[in-house]
């Protein structure tokens, strides 16, 4: 067992929309990512997604509403819900997702990451 310092982990990378594995539990990854700009509309057939804002402000667009998240706030996007994260300025987020989760879900995109780096 060891503790994880989020500020230290976020200092290890600069790229946007490139999640990193910071830990794992119960067949899930704890992922960290820096986001800026718009992602792609996508959904996950079999996985729920947990988004927690560590630094900044994140908008998660749904087809019928927007969810606004500030530092210290989180939301869970249920499987099957089409969504698109948007960050006007750089945002640091922590996500809990099953190991099988592909960041772009069922959408094939140039932002799809298949080999996630562990930090």
pLDDT, mean of residues 82-101:
93
- CB-count exposure of residue 34 (10 Å: 0-12, 13-18, 19+): buried
- Full-model pTM: 0.90
* Domain 6-118 top-level CATH class: mainly beta
Residue 47 CA neighbour count, 13 Å, CB half: 21
Residues 24 and 96: their CA atoms lie apart, in Å, by 9
The pLDDT assigned to 38 comes to 94
**For residue 73, what is the DSSP state?**
-
Q: What is the pLDDT of residue 104?
A: 67
Q: What is the mean pLDDT of residues 30-41?
A: 95
Q: Which residues pair with 50 in a beta bridge?
A: 76, 96
What residue ranges do the domains of the chain occupy? 6-118
Overall average pLDDT of the 88-108 stretch: 86
């Amino acid at each position: 067992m060891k503790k994880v310092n989020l500020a230290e982990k976020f200092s290890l990378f600069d790229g946007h929309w490139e999640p990193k594995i910071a830990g794992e539990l119960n067949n899930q990854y704890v992922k960290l990512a820096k986001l800026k700009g718009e992602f792609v509309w996508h959904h996950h057939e079999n996985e729920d997604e947990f988004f927690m804002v560590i630094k900044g402000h994140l908008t998660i667009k749904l087809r019928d509403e927007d969810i606004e998240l500030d530092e210290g706030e989180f939301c869970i996007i249920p499987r099957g819900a089409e969504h698109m994260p948007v960050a006007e300025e750089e945002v640091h987020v922590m996500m809990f997702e099953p190991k099988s989760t592909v960041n772009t879900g069922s959408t094939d995109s140039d932002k799809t990451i298949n080999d996630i780096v562990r930090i």
